[in-house]
Amino acid sequence: MHSALFLIEFGAIILGLGLLGRVAGRLKFSPIPLYLLAGLAFGTGGLLPMGASEEFVAIGAEIGVILLLLMLGLEYTASDLVSNLKTQYPAGLVDFGLNAVPGAVAALLMGWGPVAAVVLAGVTWISSSGVIAKVMGDLGRVGNRETPVILSVLVLEDLAMAVYLPIITALLAGVSLAAGSATLAIALGVAGAVLFVAVRFGRHISRFVSSDDPEKLLLVVLGLTLLVAGIAQQLQVSAAVGAFLVGIALSGEVAEGTHALLSPLRDLFAAVFFVFFGLHTDPASIPPVLLPALALAAVTAGTKIATGYWAARRAGIGVKGRWRAGGTLVARGEFSIVIAGLAVTAGIEPAMGPLATAYVLILVVIGPLTARYTEPVAAWVAGRRGRSGTAAAAVVPPRPAAPEDLGGPGEDHGRQQDQAHDPARRA
Q: Residue ranges of the chain with pLDDT lower than 50?
A: 1, 401-427
CA 178 from centre of chain = 32
Residues sharing a CB contact under 8 Å with residue 187, sequence separation 6 or more, in sequence order: 162, 163, 165, 166, 235, 236, 237
pLDDT on residue 413: 41
Radius of gyration in angstroms for the set of CA atoms belonging to the chain, rounded to a whole number: 23
Dihedral through CA 408, CA 93, CA 247, CA 71, nearest 10?
A: -70
Contacts of 313 (CB under 8 A, 6+ apart): 322
Rounded distance between C-alpha atoms, residue 35 and residue 20, angstroms:
7
DSSP class of residue 96 equals H
Q: How many residues does the chain have?
A: 427
pLDDT for residue 395 = 55
Under 8 Å between Cβ of 149 and 317: yes
Scored b (16 or more CB within 10 A) or e, 25-38 reads eeeeebbbbbbbbb
List all residues 6 or more positions away from 129 whose beta carbon is below 8 Å from its beta carbon.
65, 68, 69, 72, 154, 157, 158, 240, 244, 333, 334, 335
CA separation (Å) from 30 to 25, 129, 329, 358, 372? 8, 16, 15, 20, 9
Report the candidate in 38, 21, 160 with the shortest Cα–Cα distance to residue 91: 160
Residue type, 119: V
Q: Residue 295: its pLDDT value, please?
A: 95
pLDDT digits (tens, 9 = 90+) for 285-336: 788 889 999 999 999 999 999 999 999 999 899 999 999 999 999 998 777 8
| pLDDT, position 298 | 96
pLDDT for residue 239: 75
Closest CA to 366 of 104, 32, 97, 72: 32
* CB within 8 Å of 293: residues ≥ 6 apart: 286, 355, 358, 359, 362
Give the list of residues 6+ apart from residue 74 with CB closer than 8 angstroms, or none.
247, 248, 250, 255, 258, 259
Residue type, 80: D
Nearest to 229 by CA among 241, 221, 217, 218: 241
- Distance, in Å, from the CA atom of 77 to the CA atom of 206, rounded to the nearest integer, reads 11
Give residue 406's pLDDT.
40
Cβ distance 133 to 328 under 8 Å? no
Closest CA to 127 of 102, 149, 156, 148: 156
Rounded CA separation 37/46 (Å): 10
Q: pLDDT (tens digit, 9 = 90+) per residue, 213-247? A: 888 888 988 998 899 888 877 776 667 777 877 88
Q: What is the pLDDT of residue 326?
A: 95
Other residues' Cβ atoms within 10 Å of the Cβ of residue 62? 21
